[in-house]
Structure 1
Amino acid sequence: MTAAKVQHWNASDGVELAFHEVGEGAPVILLHGLFSSAEVNWIKFGHAARIAEQGFRVIMPDLRAHGLSGKPHDPGAYPKNILVRDLHELIARLDLTEYLLGGFSLGARTVLEAVVGGMMPERAVLAGIGSDVLTNWSRRSGFFLEAIRRFNEVERGDPHWLSVQFMKTMKIDRVAATQLLGSMVDYDSSDAVAAAFTMPTLVVCGSEDDENGSAEDLARLIGAQFTEIPGTHMSSVTSPELGMAIAHFLAS
Protein backbone atom coordinates (compact mmCIF):
# COMPACT_ATOMS: atom_id res chain seq x y z
CA MET A 1 0.00 0.00 0.00
CA THR A 2 1.30 3.44 -0.97
CA ALA A 3 2.10 5.75 1.93
CA ALA A 4 -0.52 8.36 2.69
CA LYS A 5 0.20 11.78 1.19
CA VAL A 6 -0.29 14.97 3.18
CA GLN A 7 -1.89 18.13 1.83
CA HIS A 8 -2.45 21.51 3.43
CA TRP A 9 -5.22 24.05 2.89
CA ASN A 10 -6.53 27.22 4.51
CA ALA A 11 -9.90 27.34 6.24
CA SER A 12 -12.12 30.39 5.74
CA ASP A 13 -10.66 32.04 8.84
CA GLY A 14 -7.12 31.60 7.53
CA VAL A 15 -6.08 28.71 9.78
CA GLU A 16 -3.91 26.21 7.91
CA LEU A 17 -5.27 22.68 8.17
CA ALA A 18 -3.88 19.36 6.96
CA PHE A 19 -5.33 16.12 5.66
CA HIS A 20 -3.83 12.75 4.78
CA GLU A 21 -4.99 10.67 1.83
CA VAL A 22 -4.46 7.12 0.61
CA GLY A 23 -6.16 4.88 -1.94
CA GLU A 24 -8.47 5.41 -4.88
CA GLY A 25 -12.20 5.03 -5.35
CA ALA A 26 -15.25 6.25 -3.49
CA PRO A 27 -14.20 8.91 -0.95
CA VAL A 28 -14.48 8.15 2.75
CA ILE A 29 -13.59 10.82 5.31
CA LEU A 30 -12.35 9.63 8.71
CA LEU A 31 -12.04 11.94 11.73
CA HIS A 32 -9.70 11.09 14.61
CA GLY A 33 -10.21 11.34 18.36
CA LEU A 34 -9.31 13.97 20.94
CA PHE A 35 -5.55 14.61 21.41
CA SER A 36 -4.84 12.15 18.58
CA SER A 37 -4.14 12.62 14.86
CA ALA A 38 -4.91 10.99 11.54
CA GLU A 39 -1.52 9.27 11.67
CA VAL A 40 -2.10 7.68 15.09
CA ASN A 41 -5.82 6.98 14.80
CA TRP A 42 -6.09 5.70 11.24
CA ILE A 43 -2.69 5.13 9.61
CA LYS A 44 -0.29 3.72 12.23
CA PHE A 45 -2.31 0.60 13.02
CA GLY A 46 -3.31 -0.17 9.43
CA HIS A 47 -6.98 0.86 9.44
CA ALA A 48 -6.66 3.27 6.50
CA ALA A 49 -4.81 0.66 4.46
CA ARG A 50 -7.48 -1.99 5.14
CA ILE A 51 -10.21 0.40 4.05
CA ALA A 52 -8.28 1.57 0.96
CA GLU A 53 -7.74 -2.05 -0.09
CA GLN A 54 -11.53 -2.35 -0.45
CA GLY A 55 -11.49 0.31 -3.18
CA PHE A 56 -11.81 3.56 -1.24
CA ARG A 57 -10.09 6.92 -1.32
CA VAL A 58 -9.48 7.47 2.40
CA ILE A 59 -9.29 11.14 3.44
CA MET A 60 -8.16 11.80 7.02
CA PRO A 61 -8.03 15.38 8.29
CA ASP A 62 -5.93 16.43 11.24
CA LEU A 63 -8.55 18.32 13.22
CA ARG A 64 -7.94 21.93 14.19
CA ALA A 65 -5.55 22.06 17.19
CA HIS A 66 -4.23 18.56 16.38
CA GLY A 67 -1.54 16.86 14.34
CA LEU A 68 -0.15 18.84 11.42
CA SER A 69 -3.02 21.34 11.47
CA GLY A 70 -2.88 24.85 12.88
CA LYS A 71 -3.20 25.38 16.62
CA PRO A 72 -4.30 28.98 17.06
CA HIS A 73 -4.57 30.37 20.58
CA ASP A 74 -7.12 33.05 19.70
CA PRO A 75 -10.53 32.14 21.23
CA GLY A 76 -12.13 33.56 18.09
CA ALA A 77 -10.75 30.61 16.14
CA TYR A 78 -13.00 28.22 18.09
CA PRO A 79 -16.65 29.17 17.61
CA LYS A 80 -19.37 26.63 18.35
CA ASN A 81 -19.17 23.59 16.05
CA ILE A 82 -15.93 24.75 14.45
CA LEU A 83 -14.93 21.17 13.60
CA VAL A 84 -18.16 20.72 11.65
CA ARG A 85 -17.49 23.98 9.80
CA ASP A 86 -13.97 22.81 8.93
CA LEU A 87 -15.42 19.52 7.68
CA HIS A 88 -17.96 21.30 5.46
CA GLU A 89 -15.20 23.46 3.99
CA LEU A 90 -12.91 20.49 3.31
CA ILE A 91 -15.72 18.65 1.51
CA ALA A 92 -16.38 21.77 -0.59
CA ARG A 93 -12.67 22.23 -1.32
CA LEU A 94 -12.39 18.63 -2.54
CA ASP A 95 -15.60 19.09 -4.56
CA LEU A 96 -17.18 15.97 -3.08
CA THR A 97 -20.87 15.46 -3.80
CA GLU A 98 -21.01 11.86 -2.60
CA TYR A 99 -18.89 10.53 0.25
CA LEU A 100 -18.86 8.27 3.28
CA LEU A 101 -18.09 9.67 6.72
CA GLY A 102 -16.75 8.18 9.93
CA GLY A 103 -15.03 9.12 13.15
CA PHE A 104 -13.65 7.84 16.41
CA SER A 105 -14.55 9.41 19.79
CA LEU A 106 -14.34 13.19 19.26
CA GLY A 107 -14.35 12.46 15.54
CA ALA A 108 -17.52 10.39 15.92
CA ARG A 109 -19.16 13.15 17.93
CA THR A 110 -18.25 15.55 15.11
CA VAL A 111 -19.88 13.19 12.60
CA LEU A 112 -22.97 13.12 14.82
CA GLU A 113 -23.11 16.92 14.99
CA ALA A 114 -22.56 17.22 11.24
CA VAL A 115 -25.37 14.81 10.39
CA VAL A 116 -27.77 16.45 12.86
CA GLY A 117 -26.86 19.73 11.16
CA GLY A 118 -27.92 18.39 7.76
CA MET A 119 -24.86 16.69 6.30
CA MET A 120 -25.86 13.61 4.32
CA PRO A 121 -23.06 11.08 3.77
CA GLU A 122 -24.03 7.92 1.94
CA ARG A 123 -22.92 5.88 4.97
CA ALA A 124 -21.76 6.85 8.45
CA VAL A 125 -19.52 5.25 11.07
CA LEU A 126 -19.58 6.17 14.76
CA ALA A 127 -16.68 4.52 16.60
CA GLY A 128 -15.78 4.71 20.27
CA ILE A 129 -18.95 6.43 21.48
CA GLY A 130 -22.20 5.44 23.17
CA SER A 131 -25.56 6.94 24.02
CA ASP A 132 -24.16 9.22 26.74
CA VAL A 133 -22.12 11.14 24.16
CA LEU A 134 -25.29 13.16 23.55
CA THR A 135 -25.48 14.55 27.05
CA ASN A 136 -22.14 14.11 28.82
CA TRP A 137 -19.90 16.59 27.01
CA SER A 138 -19.76 19.00 29.97
CA ARG A 139 -18.55 16.18 32.20
CA ARG A 140 -16.09 14.75 29.68
CA SER A 141 -14.64 18.10 28.64
CA GLY A 142 -14.37 19.07 32.31
CA PHE A 143 -12.29 15.94 32.92
CA PHE A 144 -9.88 16.84 30.12
CA LEU A 145 -9.69 20.50 31.13
CA GLU A 146 -8.74 19.35 34.63
CA ALA A 147 -6.05 17.11 33.12
CA ILE A 148 -4.68 20.10 31.23
CA ARG A 149 -4.82 22.34 34.31
CA ARG A 150 -2.97 19.78 36.44
CA PHE A 151 -0.70 18.66 33.60
CA ASN A 152 2.53 18.92 35.58
CA GLU A 153 1.09 17.63 38.85
CA VAL A 154 -0.64 14.39 37.88
CA GLU A 155 1.00 11.24 39.25
CA ARG A 156 0.58 7.58 38.36
CA GLY A 157 -2.70 6.26 39.78
CA ASP A 158 -4.52 9.54 39.24
CA PRO A 159 -7.62 9.18 36.97
CA HIS A 160 -6.06 11.81 34.66
CA TRP A 161 -2.74 9.97 34.34
CA LEU A 162 -3.35 8.22 31.00
CA SER A 163 -4.79 11.37 29.40
CA VAL A 164 -1.77 13.41 30.48
CA GLN A 165 0.65 10.76 29.22
CA PHE A 166 -1.13 10.66 25.86
CA MET A 167 -1.02 14.46 25.61
CA LYS A 168 2.71 14.35 26.31
CA THR A 169 3.25 11.66 23.67
CA MET A 170 1.27 13.66 21.12
CA LYS A 171 2.91 16.98 22.11
CA ILE A 172 -0.50 18.58 22.48
CA ASP A 173 -0.72 22.37 22.47
CA ARG A 174 -2.67 22.75 25.70
CA VAL A 175 -3.80 26.32 25.04
CA ALA A 176 -5.30 25.37 21.66
CA ALA A 177 -6.82 22.18 23.11
CA THR A 178 -8.46 24.18 25.90
CA GLN A 179 -10.06 26.50 23.37
CA LEU A 180 -11.31 23.61 21.24
CA LEU A 181 -12.86 21.80 24.21
CA GLY A 182 -15.11 24.81 24.74
CA SER A 183 -16.51 24.75 21.20
CA MET A 184 -18.93 21.84 21.77
CA VAL A 185 -22.09 21.62 23.85
CA ASP A 186 -24.47 18.96 25.14
CA TYR A 187 -27.70 17.94 23.37
CA ASP A 188 -30.98 18.54 25.16
CA SER A 189 -32.76 15.74 23.36
CA SER A 190 -31.94 12.59 21.41
CA ASP A 191 -34.93 13.02 19.09
CA ALA A 192 -33.04 15.12 16.54
CA VAL A 193 -30.21 12.60 16.48
CA ALA A 194 -32.52 9.64 15.91
CA ALA A 195 -34.32 11.49 13.11
CA ALA A 196 -31.14 12.61 11.35
CA PHE A 197 -29.49 9.23 10.84
CA THR A 198 -31.44 7.99 7.83
CA MET A 199 -28.34 6.64 6.07
CA PRO A 200 -26.88 3.18 6.81
CA THR A 201 -24.76 3.61 9.93
CA LEU A 202 -22.29 1.48 11.87
CA VAL A 203 -21.66 1.91 15.59
CA VAL A 204 -18.42 0.12 16.53
CA CYS A 205 -16.98 0.12 20.02
CA GLY A 206 -14.52 -1.71 22.26
CA SER A 207 -15.85 -4.47 24.51
CA GLU A 208 -14.43 -2.66 27.56
CA ASP A 209 -15.22 0.88 26.40
CA ASP A 210 -18.01 2.47 28.41
CA GLU A 211 -16.57 5.98 28.63
CA ASN A 212 -19.48 7.41 26.66
CA GLY A 213 -22.24 5.06 27.78
CA SER A 214 -23.70 2.14 25.89
CA ALA A 215 -22.76 1.82 22.23
CA GLU A 216 -25.52 -0.74 21.79
CA ASP A 217 -28.08 1.77 23.10
CA LEU A 218 -26.80 4.39 20.65
CA ALA A 219 -27.10 1.90 17.79
CA ARG A 220 -30.69 1.12 18.78
CA LEU A 221 -31.53 4.81 19.05
CA ILE A 222 -30.46 5.59 15.49
CA GLY A 223 -31.27 2.21 13.92
CA ALA A 224 -27.62 1.41 13.26
CA GLN A 225 -25.66 -1.80 12.91
CA PHE A 226 -23.60 -2.54 16.04
CA THR A 227 -20.21 -4.27 16.06
CA GLU A 228 -18.16 -4.95 19.17
CA ILE A 229 -14.37 -5.15 18.91
CA PRO A 230 -11.74 -5.96 21.55
CA GLY A 231 -10.38 -3.30 23.86
CA THR A 232 -10.94 -0.24 25.99
CA HIS A 233 -11.49 3.29 24.70
CA MET A 234 -7.73 3.74 24.32
CA SER A 235 -6.69 0.25 23.21
CA SER A 236 -9.48 -0.42 20.70
CA VAL A 237 -7.82 2.03 18.31
CA THR A 238 -4.86 -0.35 18.08
CA SER A 239 -7.04 -3.37 17.31
CA PRO A 240 -7.03 -4.54 13.66
CA GLU A 241 -10.71 -5.36 14.14
CA LEU A 242 -11.52 -1.63 14.07
CA GLY A 243 -10.33 -1.18 10.49
CA MET A 244 -11.74 -4.55 9.47
CA ALA A 245 -15.19 -3.70 10.82
CA ILE A 246 -15.25 -0.32 9.09
CA ALA A 247 -13.93 -1.70 5.79
CA HIS A 248 -16.50 -4.52 5.79
CA PHE A 249 -19.37 -2.14 6.54
CA LEU A 250 -18.40 0.46 3.95
CA ALA A 251 -17.91 -2.17 1.25
CA SER A 252 -21.13 -4.08 1.97
Structure 2
Amino acid sequence: MSERTNKKPMITCDSFLAADGVKIAWREIGQGRPLLLIHGFMSDADTNWIRYGHAAALANAGYRVIMPDLRAHGLSGKPHNPAHYPRNVLADDQFALLAHLGVEDYDLGGYSLGGRTVSRMLTRGAAPGRAVISGMGLEGLTNTAHRSLHFRQVFDNLGHHEKGSAARMAEAFLKTTGGDPEALRHILETITDTSVAQIAEWTLPVAVVCGEQDNDNGSVADLAALLRRGKLVLVPGNHMSAVIKPELGQAFVEALTGELW
Protein backbone atom coordinates (compact mmCIF):
# COMPACT_ATOMS: atom_id res chain seq x y z
CA MET A 1 0.00 0.00 0.00
CA SER A 2 1.47 3.33 -0.99
CA GLU A 3 1.71 6.29 1.35
CA ARG A 4 -1.40 8.42 1.72
CA THR A 5 -1.43 11.83 0.06
CA ASN A 6 -3.79 14.76 -0.27
CA LYS A 7 -3.24 15.15 -4.00
CA LYS A 8 -6.23 15.02 -6.34
CA PRO A 9 -5.64 11.99 -8.58
CA MET A 10 -6.81 11.86 -12.19
CA ILE A 11 -9.83 9.80 -13.28
CA THR A 12 -9.62 7.75 -16.48
CA CYS A 13 -12.34 5.88 -18.36
CA ASP A 14 -12.17 2.86 -20.65
CA SER A 15 -14.28 -0.10 -21.77
CA PHE A 16 -14.06 -3.68 -23.02
CA LEU A 17 -16.50 -6.22 -24.45
CA ALA A 18 -17.93 -8.95 -22.25
CA ALA A 19 -18.18 -12.50 -23.58
CA ASP A 20 -21.60 -11.80 -25.09
CA GLY A 21 -20.44 -8.59 -26.79
CA VAL A 22 -21.94 -6.10 -24.31
CA LYS A 23 -19.73 -3.08 -23.65
CA ILE A 24 -18.61 -2.79 -20.02
CA ALA A 25 -17.18 0.61 -19.11
CA TRP A 26 -15.08 1.37 -16.07
CA ARG A 27 -13.36 4.34 -14.49
CA GLU A 28 -10.09 4.34 -12.58
CA ILE A 29 -8.49 6.66 -10.08
CA GLY A 30 -5.28 6.34 -8.09
CA GLN A 31 -2.33 4.00 -7.99
CA GLY A 32 -1.46 1.15 -5.66
CA ARG A 33 -3.33 -1.95 -4.57
CA PRO A 34 -6.27 -2.68 -6.91
CA LEU A 35 -9.73 -2.22 -5.44
CA LEU A 36 -12.78 -3.25 -7.48
CA LEU A 37 -15.65 -1.03 -6.35
CA ILE A 38 -19.19 -1.81 -7.57
CA HIS A 39 -22.09 0.67 -7.53
CA GLY A 40 -25.76 0.16 -6.70
CA PHE A 41 -28.91 -0.43 -8.75
CA MET A 42 -29.94 2.41 -11.12
CA SER A 43 -26.72 4.24 -10.19
CA ASP A 44 -23.27 4.30 -11.80
CA ALA A 45 -19.63 4.69 -10.81
CA ASP A 46 -19.74 8.48 -11.01
CA THR A 47 -22.84 8.86 -8.84
CA ASN A 48 -21.91 6.25 -6.26
CA TRP A 49 -18.16 6.72 -5.88
CA ILE A 50 -16.75 9.79 -7.63
CA ARG A 51 -19.24 12.62 -7.15
CA TYR A 52 -19.13 12.66 -3.36
CA GLY A 53 -15.40 12.00 -2.94
CA HIS A 54 -15.32 8.35 -1.85
CA ALA A 55 -13.12 7.21 -4.75
CA ALA A 56 -10.68 10.07 -4.17
CA ALA A 57 -10.46 9.21 -0.47
CA LEU A 58 -9.62 5.61 -1.33
CA ALA A 59 -7.10 6.68 -3.97
CA ASN A 60 -5.43 8.98 -1.46
CA ALA A 61 -5.27 6.01 0.92
CA GLY A 62 -3.13 4.14 -1.60
CA TYR A 63 -5.60 2.31 -3.82
CA ARG A 64 -5.98 1.91 -7.55
CA VAL A 65 -9.76 2.22 -7.53
CA ILE A 66 -11.43 0.36 -10.42
CA MET A 67 -15.11 1.31 -10.77
CA PRO A 68 -17.19 -0.48 -13.41
CA ASP A 69 -20.55 0.67 -14.66
CA LEU A 70 -22.65 -2.49 -14.43
CA ARG A 71 -24.33 -3.59 -17.64
CA ALA A 72 -27.57 -1.63 -18.17
CA HIS A 73 -26.05 1.24 -16.17
CA GLY A 74 -24.01 4.37 -16.81
CA LEU A 75 -21.66 4.21 -19.79
CA SER A 76 -21.98 0.44 -20.22
CA GLY A 77 -24.18 -1.27 -22.79
CA LYS A 78 -27.92 -1.37 -22.18
CA PRO A 79 -29.27 -4.14 -24.40
CA HIS A 80 -32.98 -4.93 -24.30
CA ASN A 81 -32.64 -8.56 -25.36
CA PRO A 82 -33.25 -10.81 -22.29
CA ALA A 83 -30.53 -13.15 -23.58
CA HIS A 84 -27.95 -10.69 -22.24
CA TYR A 85 -29.21 -11.03 -18.67
CA PRO A 86 -28.57 -14.58 -17.40
CA ARG A 87 -28.27 -15.31 -13.70
CA ASN A 88 -25.03 -14.10 -12.11
CA VAL A 89 -24.01 -12.12 -15.19
CA LEU A 90 -23.05 -9.10 -13.07
CA ALA A 91 -20.54 -11.17 -11.12
CA ASP A 92 -19.29 -12.76 -14.33
CA ASP A 93 -18.72 -9.30 -15.84
CA GLN A 94 -16.53 -8.37 -12.87
CA PHE A 95 -14.45 -11.54 -13.21
CA ALA A 96 -14.04 -10.69 -16.90
CA LEU A 97 -12.97 -7.13 -16.07
CA LEU A 98 -10.35 -8.36 -13.60
CA ALA A 99 -9.04 -10.79 -16.20
CA HIS A 100 -9.02 -8.06 -18.86
CA LEU A 101 -6.90 -5.89 -16.56
CA GLY A 102 -4.67 -8.78 -15.48
CA VAL A 103 -5.57 -8.18 -11.83
CA GLU A 104 -5.25 -11.18 -9.50
CA ASP A 105 -4.44 -9.66 -6.09
CA TYR A 106 -7.08 -7.12 -5.11
CA ASP A 107 -9.72 -5.99 -2.62
CA LEU A 108 -13.44 -5.81 -3.32
CA GLY A 109 -16.33 -3.57 -2.29
CA GLY A 110 -19.86 -2.75 -3.32
CA TYR A 111 -22.93 -0.74 -2.37
CA SER A 112 -26.50 -2.13 -2.48
CA LEU A 113 -26.68 -4.16 -5.72
CA GLY A 114 -22.91 -3.82 -5.75
CA GLY A 115 -22.76 -5.45 -2.32
CA ARG A 116 -25.01 -8.22 -3.59
CA THR A 117 -22.66 -8.65 -6.55
CA VAL A 118 -19.74 -8.92 -4.12
CA SER A 119 -21.58 -11.75 -2.36
CA ARG A 120 -22.08 -13.59 -5.64
CA MET A 121 -18.42 -13.16 -6.54
CA LEU A 122 -17.31 -14.52 -3.17
CA THR A 123 -19.64 -17.48 -3.54
CA ARG A 124 -18.38 -18.14 -7.06
CA GLY A 125 -14.71 -18.25 -6.14
CA ALA A 126 -13.45 -14.66 -5.84
CA ALA A 127 -10.50 -14.41 -3.44
CA PRO A 128 -9.90 -10.75 -2.54
CA GLY A 129 -7.78 -9.85 0.46
CA ARG A 130 -10.59 -7.88 2.11
CA ALA A 131 -14.15 -7.04 1.15
CA VAL A 132 -16.80 -4.46 2.02
CA ILE A 133 -20.52 -5.10 1.63
CA SER A 134 -22.37 -1.82 2.03
CA GLY A 135 -26.02 -0.79 2.02
CA MET A 136 -27.00 -4.44 2.32
CA GLY A 137 -28.39 -6.60 5.13
CA LEU A 138 -28.75 -10.34 5.48
CA GLU A 139 -32.22 -10.62 3.94
CA GLY A 140 -31.07 -8.57 0.97
CA LEU A 141 -28.62 -11.35 0.16
CA THR A 142 -30.63 -14.42 1.11
CA ASN A 143 -34.11 -13.34 -0.09
CA THR A 144 -33.62 -11.12 -3.12
CA ALA A 145 -37.14 -11.57 -4.48
CA HIS A 146 -38.63 -9.09 -2.01
CA ARG A 147 -36.48 -6.18 -3.15
CA SER A 148 -36.81 -7.12 -6.81
CA LEU A 149 -40.60 -7.00 -6.47
CA HIS A 150 -40.34 -3.43 -5.19
CA PHE A 151 -38.41 -2.33 -8.27
CA ARG A 152 -40.71 -4.18 -10.66
CA GLN A 153 -43.58 -2.19 -9.19
CA VAL A 154 -41.57 0.99 -9.64
CA PHE A 155 -41.01 0.25 -13.34
CA ASP A 156 -44.60 -0.91 -13.90
CA ASN A 157 -46.10 2.35 -12.64
CA LEU A 158 -43.72 5.11 -13.72
CA GLY A 159 -45.39 8.49 -13.47
CA HIS A 160 -48.10 7.26 -11.12
CA HIS A 161 -46.38 6.83 -7.75
CA GLU A 162 -47.66 8.63 -4.69
CA LYS A 163 -45.67 11.70 -3.73
CA GLY A 164 -43.29 10.96 -0.86
CA SER A 165 -43.46 7.18 -1.32
CA ALA A 166 -40.40 4.96 -1.64
CA ALA A 167 -41.43 4.15 -5.21
CA ARG A 168 -41.66 7.86 -6.10
CA MET A 169 -38.18 8.42 -4.65
CA ALA A 170 -36.83 5.50 -6.69
CA GLU A 171 -38.39 6.95 -9.84
CA ALA A 172 -36.83 10.33 -9.10
CA PHE A 173 -33.42 8.69 -8.75
CA LEU A 174 -33.95 6.86 -12.04
CA LYS A 175 -34.54 10.21 -13.75
CA THR A 176 -31.49 11.74 -12.08
CA THR A 177 -29.18 9.05 -13.42
CA GLY A 178 -30.86 8.85 -16.83
CA GLY A 179 -31.56 5.15 -16.41
CA ASP A 180 -33.12 2.90 -19.05
CA PRO A 181 -36.12 1.23 -17.36
CA GLU A 182 -36.38 -1.64 -19.85
CA ALA A 183 -32.72 -2.62 -19.52
CA LEU A 184 -32.77 -2.15 -15.76
CA ARG A 185 -35.82 -4.36 -15.40
CA HIS A 186 -33.85 -7.16 -17.06
CA ILE A 187 -31.16 -6.75 -14.39
CA LEU A 188 -33.68 -7.96 -11.81
CA GLU A 189 -33.74 -11.32 -13.58
CA THR A 190 -29.99 -11.74 -13.06
CA ILE A 191 -30.12 -11.50 -9.27
CA THR A 192 -29.50 -14.71 -7.34
CA ASP A 193 -29.84 -15.50 -3.63
CA THR A 194 -26.77 -16.26 -1.54
CA SER A 195 -27.61 -18.71 1.24
CA VAL A 196 -26.85 -18.37 4.94
CA ALA A 197 -24.63 -21.44 4.67
CA GLN A 198 -22.64 -19.90 1.80
CA ILE A 199 -22.14 -16.62 3.66
CA ALA A 200 -20.98 -18.47 6.77
CA GLU A 201 -18.23 -20.14 4.72
CA TRP A 202 -16.43 -16.89 3.82
CA THR A 203 -13.09 -16.75 5.65
CA LEU A 204 -11.77 -13.34 4.61
CA PRO A 205 -12.31 -10.09 6.56
CA VAL A 206 -15.63 -8.56 5.47
CA ALA A 207 -16.81 -5.18 6.71
CA VAL A 208 -20.54 -4.46 6.65
CA VAL A 209 -20.93 -0.69 6.19
CA CYS A 210 -24.42 0.76 6.29
CA GLY A 211 -26.38 3.90 7.03
CA GLU A 212 -27.73 3.83 10.56
CA GLN A 213 -31.24 4.50 9.23
CA ASP A 214 -31.00 2.08 6.31
CA ASN A 215 -33.42 -0.84 6.64
CA ASP A 216 -34.05 -1.36 2.93
CA ASN A 217 -32.26 -4.70 2.67
CA GLY A 218 -32.77 -6.32 6.05
CA SER A 219 -30.60 -6.58 9.14
CA VAL A 220 -26.98 -5.49 8.79
CA ALA A 221 -26.29 -6.67 12.34
CA ASP A 222 -27.44 -10.19 11.45
CA LEU A 223 -25.21 -10.19 8.37
CA ALA A 224 -22.16 -9.04 10.34
CA ALA A 225 -22.84 -11.61 13.09
CA LEU A 226 -23.01 -14.44 10.55
CA LEU A 227 -19.62 -13.64 9.05
CA ARG A 228 -16.59 -15.47 10.40
CA ARG A 229 -14.48 -12.30 10.28
CA GLY A 230 -17.12 -9.62 10.07
CA LYS A 231 -17.17 -6.04 11.35
CA LEU A 232 -20.23 -3.79 11.43
CA VAL A 233 -19.75 -0.07 10.77
CA LEU A 234 -22.71 2.32 10.88
CA VAL A 235 -22.50 5.68 9.15
CA PRO A 236 -24.98 8.59 9.07
CA GLY A 237 -27.99 8.42 6.78
CA ASN A 238 -30.44 6.05 5.12
CA HIS A 239 -30.04 3.97 1.95
CA MET A 240 -30.06 7.01 -0.32
CA SER A 241 -28.47 9.71 1.85
CA ALA A 242 -25.54 7.68 3.23
CA VAL A 243 -23.94 7.77 -0.22
CA ILE A 244 -23.59 11.55 -0.21
CA LYS A 245 -21.82 11.73 3.17
CA PRO A 246 -18.01 11.61 3.59
CA GLU A 247 -18.33 9.11 6.42
CA LEU A 248 -19.16 6.38 3.91
CA GLY A 249 -15.87 6.77 2.06
CA GLN A 250 -13.95 7.01 5.32
CA ALA A 251 -15.53 3.77 6.54
CA PHE A 252 -14.38 2.05 3.34
CA VAL A 253 -10.87 3.40 3.89
CA GLU A 254 -10.76 2.11 7.45
CA ALA A 255 -12.16 -1.27 6.48
CA LEU A 256 -9.85 -1.82 3.54
CA THR A 257 -6.61 -0.46 4.94
CA GLY A 258 -6.90 -2.62 8.05
CA GLU A 259 -7.77 0.08 10.60
CA LEU A 260 -10.89 -1.90 11.62
CA TRP A 261 -8.98 -5.11 12.18
Match of 2:211 in 1: 206
Confirm whether residue 142 of structure 1 aligns to residue 149 of structure 2: yes
Match of 2:132 in 1: 125
Superposed CA deviations along residues 89-125 of structure 1, whole A, max 9, x for unmatched, are 0010000110000000000000001101111111100
1:115 aligns with one of 112, 122, 126: 122
Distance 1:22 1:157 in 2: 36
Instruction: Please identify runs of 4+ aligned residues in structure 1 that moved more than 3 A.
Output: none
Q: TM-score, normalised by structure 1?
A: 0.97
Match of 2:72 in 1: 65
The correspondence of residues 98-247 of structure 1 with structure 2, limited to 5 A, is 98-187=105-194, 189-195=195-201, 197-223=202-228, 224-247=230-253
Query: Do the aligned partners of 1:136 and 1:212 also contact (CA within 8 Å) in 2?
Result: no
Listed as ranges, the gaps of 5+ residues in structure 2 are 1-7
- Structure 1 residue 51: Cα displacement: 0.5
Q: TM-score, normalised by structure 2?
A: 0.93
Overall identity of the aligned pairs, in %: 44
Instruction: Give the counterpart letter for 1:206 in structure 2.
Output: G
Query: Do the aligned partners of 2:10 and 2:30 also contact (CA within 8 Å) in 1?
Result: no
How many pairs does the alignment contain? 250
Distance 2:192 2:17 in 1: 25
- Structure 1 residue 185: Cα displacement: 2.7
- Structure 1 residue 213: Cα displacement: 1.3
Distance 1:95 1:75 in 2: 29
1:77 aligns with one of 50, 74, 84: 84
Query: Do the aligned partners of 2:154 and 2:167 also contact (CA within 8 Å) in 1?
Result: yes
What CA RMSD, in Å, does the superposition of the two structures yield over aligned residues?
1.0
Q: What secondary structure does 2:190 align onto?
A: coil
Superposed CA deviations along residues 53-100 of structure 1, whole A, max 9, x for unmatched, are 011100000000000000000100000000011011001000011000
- Structure 1 residue 17: Cα displacement: 1.1
- Structure 1 residue 7: Cα displacement: 0.5
Confirm whether residue 50 of structure 1 aligns to residue 57 of structure 2: yes
Instruction: Give the counterpart letter for 1:163 in structure 2.
Output: A
Listed as ranges, the gaps of 5+ residues in structure 1 are none
Tell which deviates more after alignment, 22-31 or 125-134.
125-134
Distance 2:26 2:100 in 1: 12
Match of 2:3 in 1: none
Instruction: Give the counterpart letter for 1:208 in structure 2.
Output: Q
- Structure 1 residue 164: Cα displacement: 0.5
